[in-house]
Amino acid sequence: MAFLPIVERELRAAARRKGMFRVRWWTALLAIVTGFVSLGFVVLTRSRSSLGNPLFNILNGYAFGLCLLSGVVLTADSLSEEKREGTLGLLFLTNLKAYEVVLGKFIPSLLVGVYVLLALLPVTALPLLLGGVTGGEFWRVALALLNAMFVSLALGTFISSISKDSQRAMGHTLGLVLLVIAGLPGLAYLLGQARLPSWCLSFRWLSPSFPYSYAAELLYIRHAGEYWLALLLSNFLGWVFLGFTSIVLPRSSQERPSWLAGGQVFKGLAQGGKLRFKSRKPADELNLSRSPVSWLLRRRLGAQWGAWLVVAAGALVVSVSSFSVTPSSSLMGHYTMMPFAFLLKLLFALQVCKFLSEGRRDGTLELLLCTPLTDREIMRGQVSGLWRSFGWPLSLFLAALFAPFGVQLAFAIGTQDFQSLLSVFGGAFLAGMISVRMLVDLMAICWFGMGLAVSMRKPQFAPAMTIVVVLILPAILSSCFLDLVPDIFFIWWGMARTRRDLRHLLNEQYEAAGKGFANKVVV
């Protein structure tokens, strides 16, 4: 038997796939466009004698974000897809080992990520010609990017081994990546404030963010040992997760009856052989009669505890910043909430594509199209259900943006400090502009995500593509609010895609799949 046969098969299949060439081409094109836009922004904001280092940091910041998202895009649904199709159990009927199956899914995904990174590196090397960046710094950053991609892919493979639903696997992978990248350093910082011994905080070196930050020339000169230690430990973390995946996968591939379902059946049999389930509330029946799609979507989304958790964390930051009475403190608390706004957008993007992508896979969308519901009613119910689920968390989050300025306004009026009053009005205007941009971003995510979920051949990748295209790429224009221009284009494109006849669109996809299967049979 050949060594790692699944790896060989997947690599041969990937080598013949046209998408491999398209991904590299589009990545290089987007990197060039982003590089020119970033260069123009740096020229306008910095002196021409120091262009290389700021441009280098901006380009590698984008590359680092893409490397962290590689696990969400490439490996989060690798093993879970085999579970849904029922082919994972067949692999374990052979003499294949668990690590061979895991590496068979991991190594081809790693190869795709390496190809994308190789397409990015020539663009990130352009600041070497402008000065301010050394060759050693470039290669250290490239090694840190490869390490971050490896860890992200390993985390995605682990989550995929214990998941079956594609959307939940992507969401859990994103949460685990954020926990490793930001959670471990944040926890180490909080424990450091308690003056614990340094050896108690050694777990912070497991985060791939440390080798990326210590790759800079000024930090590497003083902390060369920390760079290599963090690089080795974070890489070791990736191998540990791959080992856990090899242990867990044979057990998670076995279909077991649900404990909850078994309990319901046993309880029903004990009551005389009839199953009794909880009846629907009158409000649910009213929502069902008004908008069946919205009712179905809310039941499938479940409780949005993640959105409420983000809002609670943001409100905590606002409450801490509101205790100070200086205008700069309220602005600082306002800008500290921006990461929470990004997390809220990520959760929204994951839920936007869930209903349509799962509906195409399990046949729910086809059943809806067999009813008298029109395409417009289906899309309207989708949008209505999303905004009903995220409406209250979003409203409270936007209100929290203005809370520090309300406290500062009351203090300025009480002390009759007119200079502070003018700064408060300026900050409130900035918060209003950011609120408008956030609402436009959510609309772009909603329509662009639904357009991708309807039209993509593999709709399970629609959330990741929405995050990259709508949130990551236009972020370079966010400093001057020019990111609203691509948002308008994304809204128009998504509306144009969702206005197409869904029945005709699904019919075209089935015909294309039938022709492809017929061609394979003929060959």
**HEC profile for 342-388?**
HHHHHHHHHHHCHHHHHHHHHCHHHHHHCCCCCHHHHHHHHHHHHHH
227: its two tokens: 């760079």
Domain boundaries, the chain: 5-253, 289-522
- The reported pLDDT for the residue numbered 257 is 45
Residues of the chain with pLDDT under 50: 257-280, 283, 285-286, 302-303, 325, 327-330, 517-523
Residues 58-99: pLDDT tens digits? 888 888 888 888 888 888 888 888 887 778 777 777 777 888
Burial grade of 380 (CB within 10 A; 0-12, 13-18, 19 or more): middle
Q: Name residues whose C-beta falls within 8 Å of residue 421's C-beta, 6 or more positions apart in sequence.
A: 409, 412, 413
Closest CA to 176 of 255, 220, 229, 241: 241
215: its two tokens: 């790759």
- What is the SS3 assignment for 423? helix
- The reported pLDDT for the residue numbered 273 is 42
Q: Where are the alpha helices (DSSP H) in 125-197?
A: 127-130, 135-161, 166-178, 184-192
Residue with tokens 């020119």: 36
Backbone torsion region of residue 195, taken as left when φ is above 0, otherwise alpha when ψ lies between -120 and 50, otherwise beta: left
Report d(CA 72, CA 472) in Å as an integer.
14
- The reported pLDDT for the residue numbered 430 is 74
Residues 206-242: pLDDT tens digits? 889 989 988 888 888 888 888 999 999 999 999 999 9
0.85 exceeded by pTM: no
- The reported pLDDT for the residue numbered 382 is 81
Report d(CA 381, CA 352) in Å as an integer.
12
- The reported pLDDT for the residue numbered 127 is 86
Burial grade of 351 (CB within 10 A; 0-12, 13-18, 19 or more): buried
